[in-house]
Amino acid sequence: MLFHVEMEVRIPHDLPTERTDALKQAERIRAMELQRTGVWRHLWRVAGRYANVSVLDVSGPQELHDMLSSLPLFPFMEIRVTPLCRHPSSIHDDDR
Ligand SMILES: O=C(O)C[C@H]1C=CC(=O)O1
């Protein structure tokens, strides 16, 4: 099941730099792992914002929630989720 997910990151300015850097590094490693497994199908930076637009391929809302809430930066993210379904005019067989 595909979900469009927008993640806006808001790290408090008073978080120590070393902690911020460690969280970003851990997030990067996890995001790359999930892309390799096929769960995180698309990851795009939103131009001009510390935000991304992603397409995630999971079994359903519970797996999505478990995945998102396990991300290192989750405590500092505002997340918006939109479920997706196949468009009848899509020519891509994997759009489901
Ligand atoms: O940078 C971001 O958009 C936040 C998060 C999502 C993937 C990643 O590497 O970090």
**Mean pLDDT over the full length of the chain:** 96
Answer yes or no: is pLDDT of 96 > 80.
Answer: no
Spell out the residues 6+ positions from residue 1 whose beta carbon is closer than 8 angstroms to its own: 57, 58, 59, 60, 83
Measured CA to CA in angstroms, residue 9 lies from 32, 38, 56, 88, 91 at distances of 17, 23, 18, 34, 33
What ipTM was assigned to the predicted interfaces of this complex?
Answer: 0.96
DSSP letter assigned to residue 14: T
Superfamily assignment of 2-84 in CATH?
A: Dimeric alpha+beta barrel (3.30.70.1060)
Yes or no: say if 70 and 82 are a contact pair by the CB < 8 Å rule. Answer: no
Candidates 80, 94, 57, 91; CA nearest to 7 is 80
Question: Residue 85 C-alpha to ligand 1 middle, in angstroms?
Answer: 24
| pTM higher than 0.90 | yes
Atom of ligand 1 nearest to the CA of 30: 9
Atom of ligand 1 nearest to the CA of 51: 3
Question: Residue 50 C-alpha to ligand 1 middle, in angstroms?
Answer: 8
| Choice from 10, 21, 28, 74 to test ligand 1 binding pocket (greatest atom count within 8 A of CB) | 28
- Dihedral sign of CA atoms 53, 39, 56, 77 in order: negative
Binned at pLDDT 50, 70 and 90, residue 81 comes out as very high
